[in-house]
Structure 1
Amino acid sequence: MTIPANWSKTNRTTKLIRDSFAKIEPRAAELAQFFYGVLFTVSPATRALFPANMNTQRDRLLRALVHVVGLVDQPDELVPFLHQLGRDHRKFDVVAHHYDAVGVALLAALKKYLKDDWTAEVERAWTDAYGIIAKAMREAADAEKGPAWWPARVIDHRKPNSSVAVIRVVPKHPVPFRAGQYLSVQVPQRPRMWRYFSPATAPRTDGVLEFHVRAVDGGWVSRSMVHHTRIGDEWRIGPALGTLAVRQADKRKLLLIAGGTGLAPLRAIADDLARWKQNPAVHLFFGGRTPEDLYDLPTLKMLAATNPWLTVVPVVEEGEVKGGEQGTLVEAVLRRGPWPKTDVLVSGSPTMIRATMMRLMEEGTPAERIKYDQFTVD
């Protein structure tokens, strides 16, 4: 699918969408709750597609809306994102008529919260925009010939510290993905509660996937995965998403900044780079609050020992770590800089990503050189 030719940075539709969304963004959580209320009223069958607890699902809707609005004038990035989203939604058993119900609910929610700002022109802008979004997602879903999800069996579960688990699963059939991407996961202890996790290794010939999971306070799924996963559990793995990646053709130096279990996609990229004959210099900064939080440091040190192009820098905010730095990740990065002509990949909590990006840009790193995934953390 291609975005219509008149869908450009100067397009009036783009401005109307962004301006109207800015007005309701402070009440976005209420809008999301109202949206699902309308959706389940106009299409009661859709309620069975979602978990009983809708908090995370509402957060996902908001993040998706923010991301789409941010890319509305960047079709080269928006369309691939929508295609990924359409393929991913197949795991929910979403079919064509569900998109119509979603459109009705979205427009109703926007109208309610925009009130007098919901003009005929704004309505046309959002109607046109949603038509493009739904068409892109439907086309990608219809064109996909692979399974909506893959069954996988847990073969290993270990806890390097009290709040993190390293879990390895073997799918019945190999799951296609690129190093740095993330996959959606459903575990038997929490049916219909899909969560996103990045494999921590590049694709392997045996198909084994390794996930790093931190038990989040109040997190139904993450705490279950860390504390209650058992060998032999059957998981479901959804299609790959995300844009974090390194191309072999790229010759620029690479800076990888990982906070906590945000290490997983960046370790997968380093693992993938280790298969190439030649690489530019790569610096991987791995941070946590205490030395205990650097749960995967031994693996990283072994990887660096056999790949001279890779430098691993551990960082802790409290305490000390041999050969490492103390302070926040971005402080450690800047102390060892500057980083001219370097591509930067960041992975961690949303707060860590925002703080890191802001400091790097303040210190002169161009925004276009900094890459991260919107849905790294769920």
Structure 2
Amino acid sequence: MHTAEIGLIRSHFADVVSTPDRRDRFARTFYTSFFARLPQCRSLFPAGMDGQRVRFVAALEYIVRGLDDTDRLLAFLAQLGRDHRKYGVQGNHYAAAANALLDAIRDVDSDVPWNRAADSAWRKFIALITTTMSDAADSDDFPALWEATVVSHERVLRDLAVIRLECDSPVPYAPGQYVSVQIPQRPQMWRYLSPAIPTNPFGQLEFHVRRVSGGWVSPAMVNQTSIGDRWRISSPLGGLHVDTDTGRDVLMIAGGTGLAPLRAQVMDMAHRGINPRVHLFVSGVYPCDLYDIETLWHLSLSNPWLTVVPVSEEDENPWWHPYPVPEPPHGMHQRLRGPIGAVVSQFGSWADRQVQICGSPSMVKTTAYALQRAGTPVESISYDPLR
């Protein structure tokens, strides 16, 4: 696409994401138009569409922002196309989605006039999305879904569980990627989770799940999952990885269960003899939120390239967590206190590092801003748009 066309699309879309109400209206218009064209597709989606609408706008925002980086954008769209096979998406569905997206963007109140140039730019943009997704889905040789059995469910905190599964056949994800998961307690409701261990020939998976207050799926995962439950896993997504060809060291920043994809990468690196230096900051609101610090300490003992720094916003655990705050394991960096973005940025700009951030959307955003203010180049910072 030409620079002028990219500029038009970004100007229009800036109005879409300017307020929460506009984001919601845009997503509602898209799905209303899509279901009007293909009423039978409504059954492919959950009854409650709030989460689906949020993820739709987040994905589109990531695509618009990445229009200058064609290679990364096409890889993301291809992943998205393979992932959508879990819904049973067919060719005519993409045509209906393209028209619905055009309806939704025309409905936006924008200072940018809708003229022939804008119409042409959006049609090219939408064709890029749908064609890339459709072609990737058609050419993928892997199954659309994997079946897995829950073999362990460990409640490590009142609101956090470590869940282990064995797949009928291994899921071919790379360390740092995430997958879409459906559980029997919540049919048709898919949620993105990051495996906390590298892929292996035995099909073993491990997920760290925190219960989200008011959520539809995570409370069922934490509270209702039983040994023997059958989960469905969809195609891997995401591109978090350590580039060993650059010679640059690595900064990883985890918030809560955002640790999972970073942990999987560190475990994978531990199988190699030579690695870049990695500083891994592990954070939570309370000390008890550093639930996996013992594992990370053992990893750091046997891998001198790895430095683990625990961080919490509060010094003491909450009243509902009855256990005292343990001392950091011998040889580990002392636990630091404060918001993770402020703590990490006080060490300098980290301008020479590959930076990965993983956690809640608000944690990722505030930490990225703090690093940029400290001098970290924005192009050095990586995070996943949907997880």
Q: Same fold (TM over 0.5)?
A: yes
The one of 262, 265, 268 aligned to 2:264:
268
CA distance in 1, matches of 2:353, 2:69: 24
Partner in structure 2 of residue 354 of structure 1: 365
CA distance in 1, matches of 2:189, 2:225: 15
Task: Verify: 1:213 aligned to 2:200, yes or no.
Answer: no
The one of 76, 82, 87 aligned to 2:71:
76
CA distance in 2, matches of 1:94, 1:175: 21
Q: Is the 8 A contact 2:351 2:377 kept in 1?
A: no
The one of 376, 380, 383 aligned to 1:365:
376
CA distance in 1, matches of 2:68, 2:381: 19
The one of 140, 163, 181 aligned to 2:177:
181
CA distance in 1, matches of 2:110, 2:359: 37
Amino acid at match of 1:209: L
Task: Verify: 1:150 aligned to 2:161, yes or no.
Answer: no
Give the CA deviation at 1:205.
2.9
DSSP-derived class of the 2:79 partner: helix
Kindly provide the CA deviation profile for residues 240-283 of structure 1, in whole angstroms up to 9, marking residues without a partner as x.
11010113434221111100000000001110110010112211
CA distance in 1, matches of 2:349, 2:74: 35
Q: Is the 8 A contact 1:347 1:372 kept in 2?
A: yes
DSSP-derived class of the 1:286 partner: strand
Output aligned runs, 1:155-304, within 5 Å. Answer: 155-304=151-300
Provide the aligned length of Structure 1 versus Structure 2: 368
Give the CA deviation at 1:204.
2.0
CA distance in 2, matches of 1:357, 1:178: 24
Q: Is the 8 A contact 2:349 2:376 kept in 1?
A: no
Task: Verify: 1:110 aligned to 2:105, yes or no.
Answer: yes
Q: Is the 8 A contact 1:290 1:317 kept in 2?
A: yes
Give the TM-score normalised by structure 2: 0.92
Give the CA deviation at 1:340.
4.5
Partner in structure 1 of residue 128 of structure 2: 132
Partner in structure 1 of residue 8 of structure 2: 16
Output aligned runs, 1:306-317, within 5 Å. Answer: 306-317=302-313
Could you tell which deviates more after superposition, 328-337 or 145-154?
Answer: 328-337
Identical positions, percent: 46
**CA-based RMSD:** 1.5
CA distance in 2, matches of 1:35, 1:164: 35
Kindly provide the CA deviation profile for residues 150-171 of structure 1, in whole angstroms up to 9, marking residues without a partner as x.
0000000001100111000111
DSSP-derived class of the 2:279 partner: strand
Partner in structure 2 of residue 42 of structure 1: 37
CA distance in 2, matches of 1:319, 1:220: 31
The one of 95, 117, 120 aligned to 1:100:
95
Give the CA deviation at 1:307.
1.2
DSSP-derived class of the 1:285 partner: strand
CA distance in 2, matches of 1:110, 1:370: 29
CA distance in 2, matches of 1:147, 1:296: 33
Could you tell which deviates more after superposition, 60-69 or 233-242?
Answer: 60-69
Amino acid at match of 1:41: A
Task: Verify: 1:52 aligned to 2:47, yes or no.
Answer: yes
CA distance in 2, matches of 1:193, 1:250: 39
Give the CA deviation at 1:337.
4.3
Give the CA deviation at 1:115.
7.3
List gaps (5 residues or longer) in structure 1.
Answer: 1-6
CA distance in 1, matches of 2:263, 2:290: 13
Kindly provide the CA deviation profile for residues 64-121 of structure 1, in whole angstroms up to 9, marking residues without a partner as x.
1111111223212211111011011001100000011111211112222247933232
Q: 1:338–1:67: structure 2 CA closer, same or farther, 3 Å change rule?
A: closer
DSSP-derived class of the 1:220 partner: coil
Q: 1:210–1:250: structure 2 CA closer, same or farther, 3 Å change rule?
A: farther
Q: Is the 8 A contact 2:198 2:264 kept in 1?
A: yes
Could you tell which deviates more after superposition, 290-299 or 247-256?
Answer: 247-256
Could you tell which deviates more after superposition, 154-163 or 66-75?
Answer: 66-75
Q: Is the 8 A contact 1:254 1:342 kept in 2?
A: yes
Give the TM-score normalised by structure 1: 0.94
CA distance in 1, matches of 2:87, 2:15: 31
Task: Verify: 1:66 aligned to 2:77, yes or no.
Answer: no
Q: Is the 8 A contact 1:251 1:279 kept in 2?
A: no
DSSP-derived class of the 2:236 partner: strand
Q: 1:365–1:45: structure 2 CA closer, same or farther, 3 Å change rule?
A: same
Partner in structure 1 of residue 319 of structure 2: none
Partner in structure 2 of residue 4 of structure 1: none
List gaps (5 residues or longer) in structure 2.
Answer: 317-326, 329-333
Give the CA deviation at 1:213.
0.4
DSSP-derived class of the 2:281 partner: strand
